[in-house]
Amino acid sequence: MIAMELKKLVVSFTPFPELETGRFRLRRISSLDVNEVFALRSDPETMKYIPRPLAKTKEDALSFMDMIDKAIDNNLYIHWAISRKDDPKLIGMICLIGLEPDDYRAELGYILAPESRGKGVMHEAAGAVINYAFKRLNFHSLQAIIAPENNTSERVLQRLNFVKEAHFRDRRYWNGQFFDDVVYSLIDS
> Taking 90 as the threshold, does the pLDDT of residue 175 lie above it?
no
What confidence tier does 50 reach under pLDDT thresholds 50, 70, 90?
A: very high
Q: Is 11 contained in some domain?
A: no
Percent of the chain with pLDDT over 70: 97
Mean pLDDT over 26-31 rounds to 98
What is the rounded distance in angstroms from the CA atom of residue 65 to the CA atom of residue 13?
A: 16
pTM score, whole prediction:
0.94
Residue 105 lies in a domain: yes
What is the predicted pLDDT for the residue at 32?
A: 97
Confirm whether 139 is domain-assigned.
Answer: yes
Kindly give, in sequence order, each residue whose CB lies less than 8 Å from that of residue 172, ignoring residues fewer than 6 positions away.
51, 178, 179, 180, 181
Question: Does residue 122 form part of some domain?
Answer: yes
pLDDT at position 53 = 94
What percentage of residues in the chain have a pLDDT greater than 90? 92
Q: In the prediction, which pLDDT does 137 show?
A: 96
Please tell me the predicted confidence (pLDDT) of residue 93.
98
The distance from CA 88 to its chain's CA centroid, rounded to whole angstroms, is: 19
For residue 77, what are the domain limits? 19-187
Look up the CATH number of the domain holding residue 125: 3.40.630.30
pLDDT at 108 over 80: yes
pLDDT band at 7 (very low <50, low <70, confident <90, very high): confident
Q: How confident is the model at residue 72 (pLDDT cuts 50, 70, 90)?
A: very high
Assigned domain for 149 exists? yes
Residue 4: per-residue pLDDT? 63
The one-character DSSP state at 74 is T
User: What is the count of structural domains for the chain?
Assistant: 1
pLDDT at 146 over 90: yes
In a domain, 12, yes or no: no
Identify whether 14 is part of a domain.
no
Strands of 85-130 (E only): list them: 87-100, 105-112
8 pLDDT band, cuts 50/70/90, is: confident
Q: Is 1 within a domain?
A: no
DSSP 41: H
State residue 87 phi and psi, 5-degree precision: -150, 115
Angle at 91 between CA 134 and CA 160, to 5 degrees: 35
Predicted confidence (pLDDT) at residue 1 exceeds the cutoff of 70: no
Q: Is 90 exceeded by the pLDDT of residue 6?
A: no
